[in-house]
Amino acid sequence: MAETWYWIRHPGTYAGNECDFGQLLTLALATPKAEQLTRLGYLVESPKPKQKIQCGECGGEFLSEADRDAHGRKRHQLRFASSDPVSDDERAEREEAALLERAPLYLEKTEATRR
């Protein structure tokens, strides 16, 4: 069975892996959970990417260098140390606000609003 490719619009745990925005993920079959995550905008189904940008630390694959670099700053802080004096809580709030602006969820497509 052919794998289905997705890219991550909202960071979280997918298929048992912590994933970040722009990260590529494959699922061997379409599951109800994948359909729900796609409908709500957490994942985007996509054709097999022609080019993948790989993280040199963990091997994760991304759509762009910018997405890979953001992942590196978040997940591999020792390798990508920052001189930014902002607290972790403030950084997380900024990241979440930017994410919701860049890739809002499709809350109008929930089961409750579809009735």
Can you give the pLDDT at residue 2? 62
Q: How many domains does the chain divide into?
A: 1
For residue 106, pLDDT over 80 is answered with yes
* Residue 35, SS3 per DSSP: helix
The pTM for the full model equals 0.73
Can you give the pLDDT at residue 3? 73
Expressed as residue numbers, the domain containing 34 is 4-114
Q: What tokens appear for 106 in the block? A: 């499709």
Taking only the tens place, the pLDDT of each residue in 40-90 is 999 998 888 888 999 999 999 999 999 999 999 888 877 666 666 667 788
- The more confident residue out of 72 and 27 is 72
Distance CA 62, CA 55 (A): 8
What are the DSSP calls for 53-89, one per residue?
Answer: EEPTTT--EESSHHHHHHHHHHH-TTTT-------HH
Q: What tokens appear for 4 in the block? A: 């289905």
